[in-house]
Amino acid sequence: MDVKEAIATAKNYLNEVYADEQVTNLGLEEVEHILAAGNWIITLGFSRPWNTPRTRAQEVLENLGAVSSLTRLQQ
């Protein structure tokens, strides 16, 4: 597998695994090739809704109960 295929495979996998989390801004951060094993280590970065600042309109709608909060719950 060449580097382009490895990156595409990693992005597709991440999109499948996080499908219900509305991932955006998916991008490549780092690539490392482990020549002896023939493996690629692919590091991807992405954003989820709670990583994005809310607009005033979103805050109002959340307070009215019209939409659910996009903040991540701490456990």
The better pLDDT of the pair 72, 46 is held by 46
Residues in CB range of 69: below 8 A, 6 or more apart: 62
The pLDDT tens digits for 2-12 are 999 999 999 99
Q: H/E element holding 41?
A: strand 39-47
The pLDDT tens digits for 28-63 are 999 999 999 989 999 999 887 666 666 777 677 777
Is there a domain that residue 29 lies in? yes
DSSP summary character for residue 2: -
Q: What is the pTM of this model?
A: 0.64
The residue segments making up the domain with residue 50 are 3-63
Backbone angles phi, psi at 58, to 5 degrees: -65, -40
Is there a domain that residue 38 lies in? yes
Residue type at 8 in one-letter notation = A
When divided into structural domains, the chain yields a total of 1
Is there a domain that residue 27 lies in? yes
